Amino acid sequence: MGALLATLFLPLAGAIALLFYDREMGKGIRYSALAFSLLTFVCSIFVWLGFDASNPGLQFVIQQTWIPQFDAGFRIGLDGMSLLIVMLTTFIMPISILASFNSIHKRQKEYYIMMLLLQFGMTGVFVALDTFLFYVFWEVILIPMYFLIGIWGGQQRIYAAVKFFLYTMVGSLLMLIAIIWLGMYAQELTGSFTTNLLILRDIGPQIPAETQHWMFLAFALSFCIKVPLFPLHTWLPDAHVQAPTAGSVILAGVLLKMGTYGLIRFNLELFPQASEYFAPLLCTLAVVGIIYGALVAMVQTDIKKLVAYSSVSHLGFIVLGIFSMTPEGIQGAIIQMINHGLSTGALFLCVGMLYERRHTREMSEYGGIMRIMPVFGVFFAIAMFASVGLPGLNGFVGEYLTLLGAFRSPFLNTWVYAIVGATGVIFAAVYLLIMFQRVMYGTNDNPKNQALHDLTANEWFQLVPVTIFMIWIGIHPPTFMKYSEQSTRALVGKVESATRGTTAFTKELEQRTTNDRAHLHPEPAMVEQH
Amino acid sequence: MMDLIAYVPLLPLIGFAVLGLFGKKLKNEALIGFIGSATVGSGFIIALMIFLSMIGMPEENRSSIVHIFTWIQAGNFSIDLAYQVDQLSILFTLIITGVGFLIHLYSIGYMHGDRSFYRFFAYLNLFIFMMLNLVLASNFLVTFLGWEGVGLASYLLIGFWYDRKFEGTKIIWTGDAAKKAFIVNRIGDFGMLVAMFLLYTAVGSLNYADINSAAVATFPMGGAMITAITLLLFLGCTGKSAQIPLAIWLPDAMAGPTPVSALIHAATMVTSGIFLVARNATLFSLSPTTMAVVAVVGAITALWAATIGLVQNDIKKVLAYSTVSQLGYMFLALGVGAWTAAFFHVMTHAFFKALLFLGSGSVIHAMHEEQDIQKMGGLKKYMPITSRTFLLACFAIAGVFPLSGFFSKDEILWHSFVSGNYILWGIGVITALCTAFYMFRLYHLTFSGKERFDHHHVHPHESPITMTLPLMVLALLSAVAGFVGIPHVIGETFGHIPNYLQEWLAPVFATANAQLHEHHGTAAMEWGLMGFSLLVALTGIFLASRKYNTNAYNAAEGQPGAFAGFRKLLWNKYYVDEAYYGAIVEPLHNSSRAFLWKIFDVKIIDGMVNGSAELVRMSAEGLRKIQTGVVQNYALIMVIGIVAVIGWLLVQL
């Protein structure tokens, strides 16, 4: 309990503590922020150690009434999925802060306060078990992120920041309406309005399909903007390109995961019937996004924009996995959230390191960097291949499982999504290798690139931890995936019993499992029907 | 004993890690070379020990699964990292570690003085590790790990000299060639991914053993499902093994250092496709359609590449097209159900093609990086070991009795003939003629005749012992390897010599063979065909020698003439690269840039977003004008409003 509270509130405490610092003592501010984020990471390790992977339910649950009038409470807790994403958050933050040391020179005090506030908000989103609390955290994040882009960003930072803000606001307003509607429905059913997710989890599936559809759409719009799902993605390239390196790392690493997390936590869990109804639509958009993002990434000349569009493609796999509504697909989606955070985070770190040295993101300004920055090149290459989805590195595990889930999903009931989505593996290689060729290979004949230095100690500290986890997840994913295995199974069981009415389907699934174990297909003729 | 197999891939992995992390600090070439070679060499010794113990075992005990750990687990899906040691995988392991070791040894001499010496050996070790995973895997996903892993190693090694230029269609740097190889292979990998999904859905497992035992019961002969699966798997094979339509990457892969071409792009990696089909022979045997496709693609690729090889002037390019062509033979064999013959050719080809590449490396080394055979000639005087071993390899690949290539190639041609595929057999024979011709053209232009290089700049010399020793060992193997697979007619004549290879591999292909019709030919027919193909080979050798084993050759000769148009077509490789670029790559790029990005993303979606923002702003501007501050106006509007509401209520009543 204490560990989870500490993980949530330490960054806030840090932000408040930084308020009292003298703005002149830049070094003190930087290292204090780093210390707070590291301490938070240590606390989250205790959460990790205390977590029981065999328990599918919510753990570390804390409930306190906050606004009794509409039963809003301070309710937090974790299941396997939230644990993994919280760990990702606490892991990415110290690295992002480290990455800011050399790039942020103005208004350092405010900057690090914003960073810690951001961490507070993000952790809150992932642990909130109350729709109102969730909404508050969701909105809290907007403020620091708006300022991070708007103050410390690139040349068109204001445009990007406002676009980011407005896009997100439109979605979250609808979400607020749905949250209230949901509470009112609970009132109809139980006699009292509530935002308690623990109660709403059971109420959600009882809502008639027609109503569910509207609530589903309200939540989904908000989350899909965040993901971002095609065609709601156009805020992302601008925000990424304009944000400072650390902002991009957090944006890609954690913020986008708020959308996919929400889709699982709210859409799938609260509205299973509506999920089944809308799954084909969302999967179609996901698959279109996979290919669209890759094709547009392929023709970029700005490295950061390329990586930004690659996120659209990668997040498509996650959404596809989620709405396959199979254990394989959702487990794949969850690990892919972590993977994308690590590998795209690492790519943004690398792009940031180049930018620090040359102050340009145009690929044509580079070439032959491998010769002059060989160690950097190795890390860059590993991050790239993780992103390409090479087996042995993390990206493959997630992509494979999401596609497998989509392929075998009884809800989608067609192979088309998985097969079309799988072409994404070709395109991922195309755009990333083009980038690597232009930036790293060839000869270094730009006079401005002659004196670049290889990695600094600070940069080693950023890249080594990320790389270790990219390899670890690639070689032995069960270390991490076992934490969300049980909660995912429980979720899928819930969705299936809600949509298929009886447990007959669950039994059929059980039967299939037994057959899988026996490695024999009961009726070969069935295969031909597809 | 079998458990020791885990060390075979583990050792090169350790070598990769040590060299990759600390290689730069080691600085000592001898030490780096030792680490790199010893890890592979000891792997070979372990594999050999396992192989010898397998020979002593009863047949049914020769296959076993070695479990390492659970790799991926989610829901019902669970995949182990596990190795399957059996008659097929142990032979592949021996070839990979054996030839791999020789090439490592050779590289110590070849890469001497390179600034990234350690990096080269690290990559080579990585390659060996991945290749062993590919062939030792007990399930599809571990094979896929190796499959993509060798692609990675190939990418890294083709682009090893990333700051050098390389000539090719739309290729400027070696890195472009590396990129092309990786991407083209990924198209094949897509096929493999989908095939794996289908297989898992149909059989419920990705383990080879399960699939092999369940296949016949699961898939009806010639059904749509099995045809789809095998065709998709074959798409993967056309990528890795450079067959039509994905053959285009291999010639450009020659941008890598020559030992890489020998190891990866001739002896081992490119035979992965043959391995995959052989490993899943049962699946393929269930789909006559796929078998026909495999055979036809193999035969056409064999001829296609052989004809291109006739006119190329880059020593490595000739060998590259030759490799594509020989791989075509192997697929032809698989397609007609001659599984053993295909593997036999994998093995003999590994020996003589590695020898040819290493020999060409020795020549390139001696000629100071010159690869154009028009600027060579007369080198046999300076390089006795290289030239003699090269000549032997040329005889072997041409299929001259009793060298290894004769036996393996003849078995393929024989099987295509008796299975009734006379056209494919004919293509195979024409290919054999071309093969003999271009190989001896290559040999003579390089080693015989007048010296056409500039003596002031080039001082040819024989290579050091680390390079010539592997040449000699490979030459020995190229000469004698054929004796493990002597055809029955010859074996019977010379006193009951069995076809060792066929007997050894028989259990692996038992289920598959049960699905196929058996074909028999008469002994006389077999002798006749054997004699005929030998005659064809000798004809090719004779024609090439008459034309090129002469002092009179000059580069300009022969360009115009009766076949000028055809020659140009061959010289430009049938314009396949150009067609792909024109029909696929460029339209995709252009439409992505001009439409998807510049119009759809920026104009349409963002236009709508910004447009709605603009709409809000403009309506706000408009509404602002209503706020005049004049109270009378407000009162007027209020009255209008009240009247309207009352009016509406009255209408409702």
State how far the Cα of B466 lies from the Cα of B34, in Å rounded to an integer: 12
Question: What per-residue string of b and e applies to B573-590 under the rule 16 or more CB within 10 Å gives b?
Answer: beebbeebbeeeeeebbe
The confidence score (pLDDT) of residue B403 equals 93
Residue A84 placed within a domain = no
Chain B, nearest residue to A529 by Cα: B225
- Let me know whether B187 and B303 are in one domain: yes
- In this complex, the residue of A482, A492, A528 whose CB is nearest that of residue B225 is A528
Two structure tokens written together for A290: 């996979």
Are the C-beta atoms of A315 and A448 separated by less than 8 Å? no
- Let me know whether B603 and B503 are in one domain: no
Residue B568 placed within a domain = no
Residue A192 placed within a domain = no
- Let me know whether B306 and B386 are in one domain: yes
The confidence score (pLDDT) of residue B597 equals 83
- Let me know whether A508 and A492 are in one domain: no
User: Three-class SS of residue B67?
Assistant: strand
Question: What per-residue string of b and e applies to B425-437 under the rule 16 or more CB within 10 Å gives b?
Answer: bebbbbbbbbbbb
Chain B, nearest residue to A440 by Cα: B162
- In this complex, the residue of A167, A295, A518 whose CB is nearest that of residue B592 is A295
Determine phi and psi for B376, rounding to 5 degrees.
-120, -135
Residue B270 placed within a domain = yes
Residue B567 placed within a domain = no
- Let me know whether A508 and A369 are in one domain: no
- Let me know whether B139 and B208 are in one domain: yes
Residue A442's nearest CA partner among A371, A381, A369, A368 is: A368
Whether residue A63 is predicted with pLDDT greater than 80 in this model: the reply is yes
Taking CB atoms and an 8 Å cutoff, what residues of chain A touch B235? Answer: none
Q: Which of B22, B123, B148, B150 has the most A C-beta neighbours within 10 Å, making it the best mutation to test the interface with A?
A: B148
The confidence score (pLDDT) of residue B650 equals 82
Two structure tokens written together for B56: 């002593």
- Let me know whether B385 and B443 are in one domain: yes
State how far the Cα of A244 lies from the Cα of A160, in Å rounded to an integer: 12
- Let me know whether B507 and B412 are in one domain: yes
Q: pLDDT averaged over consecutive 10-residue blocks of chain B (653 residues)? A: 91 95 88 94 95 90 90 90 94 95 94 91 95 95 95 94 87 91 94 94 92 91 93 95 92 92 92 95 94 95 94 92 95 94 95 95 90 88 93 94 92 92 94 95 90 85 91 94 87 82 90 86 88 93 88 59 76 85 86 84 82 79 75 82 86 75
Range of B359's domain?
A: 2-484+492-516+525-561
Mean pLDDT of A154-171: 85
- Let me know whether B95 and B239 are in one domain: yes
Range of A517's domain?
A: 503-530
- Let me know whether A299 and A445 are in one domain: yes
Q: Give the model confidence (pLDDT) of A322-348 as tens digits.
A: 999 999 999 999 999 999 999 999 999
Are the C-beta atoms of B356 and B289 separated by less than 8 Å? no
Residue B570 placed within a domain = no
User: Three-class SS of residue A380?
Assistant: helix
Residue A480 placed within a domain = yes
- Let me know whether B157 and B232 are in one domain: yes
- Let me know whether A437 and A507 are in one domain: no
The number of CA neighbours under 13 Å toward the Cβ of B384 is 0
Are the C-beta atoms of A229 and A319 separated by less than 8 Å? yes
Supply the DSSP symbol for B462. P
Q: Give the model confidence (pLDDT) of A136-146 as tens digits.
A: 999 999 889 88
Taking CB atoms and an 8 Å cutoff, what residues of chain A touch B71? Answer: 475-477
Are the C-beta atoms of A102 and A356 separated by less than 8 Å? yes
The confidence score (pLDDT) of residue A501 equals 64
Confidence band, pLDDT 50/70/90 cuts, at residue A155:
confident
- Let me know whether A383 and A515 are in one domain: no
The number of CA neighbours under 13 Å toward the Cβ of A405 is 32
Strand partners, B72: B79
- Let me know whether A479 and A467 are in one domain: yes
The confidence score (pLDDT) of residue B523 equals 86
- Let me know whether B467 and B614 are in one domain: no
Whether residue A525 is predicted with pLDDT greater than 50 in this model: the reply is no
Two structure tokens written together for B140: 């599809």
Residue A113 placed within a domain = no
The confidence score (pLDDT) of residue B580 equals 87
Taking CB atoms and an 8 Å cutoff, what residues of chain B touch A408? Answer: 197, 200-201
Whether chain B has a CB inside 8 Å of the CB on A8: the answer is no
Q: Cα-Cα-Cα-Cα dihedral of B522, B524, B530, B534, to 10°?
A: -160
Q: Identity (one letter) of the amino acid at A368?
A: G
Q: Identity (one letter) of the amino acid at A219?
A: F
Domain count, chain A: 2
- Let me know whether A507 and A486 are in one domain: no
Confidence band, pLDDT 50/70/90 cuts, at residue A517:
very low
The confidence score (pLDDT) of residue A522 equals 40
- Let me know whether B534 and B633 are in one domain: no
Two structure tokens written together for B424: 């494919």
Whether chain B has a CB inside 8 Å of the CB on A485: the answer is yes
- Let me know whether A495 and A517 are in one domain: no
Lowest mean pLDDT among A79-88, A412-421, B470-479, B512-521: B512-521
State how far the Cα of A516 lies from the Cα of A495, in Å rounded to an integer: 22
- Let me know whether A298 and A438 are in one domain: yes
Residue B571 placed within a domain = no
Place of tokens 């999903």: A409
The confidence score (pLDDT) of residue A10 equals 92
Taking CB atoms and an 8 Å cutoff, what residues of chain B touch A440? Answer: 162
Residue B569 placed within a domain = no
- Let me know whether A352 and A460 are in one domain: yes
Residue A374 placed within a domain = yes
Residue B379 placed within a domain = yes
Whether chain B has a CB inside 8 Å of the CB on A415: the answer is yes
Q: Give the model confidence (pLDDT) of A227-251 as tens digits.
A: 899 888 888 988 888 889 999 999 9
Q: Identity (one letter) of the amino acid at A30?
A: R
- In this complex, the residue of A233, A429, A444 whose CB is nearest that of residue B186 is A429
Q: Identity (one letter) of the amino acid at B163?
A: D
**Domain end among B561, B589, B618:** B561
- Let me know whether B255 and B332 are in one domain: yes
Q: Across chain A, what does the average pLDDT equal?
A: 88
Chain B, nearest residue to A375 by Cα: B21
Whether residue A530 is predicted with pLDDT greater than 50 in this model: the reply is no
ipTM for the complex shown: 0.90
Q: Do residue A426 and residue B186 have CB atoms under 8 angstroms apart?
A: yes
Domain count, chain B: 2
State how far the Cα of A87 lies from the Cα of A93, in Å rounded to an integer: 10
A472 Cα to chain B: minimum distance (Å): 11
- Let me know whether B55 and B155 are in one domain: yes
Chain A, nearest residue to B210 by Cα: A519
Q: Do residue B76 and residue A328 have CB atoms under 8 angstroms apart?
A: yes
Confidence band, pLDDT 50/70/90 cuts, at residue A529:
very low
Q: Do residue A234 and residue B159 have CB atoms under 8 angstroms apart?
A: no
Residue A434 placed within a domain = yes
State how far the Cα of A351 lies from the Cα of B244, in Å rounded to an integer: 38
Whether residue A509 is predicted with pLDDT greater than 60 in this model: the reply is no
- Let me know whether A400 and A461 are in one domain: yes
- Let me know whether A435 and A463 are in one domain: yes
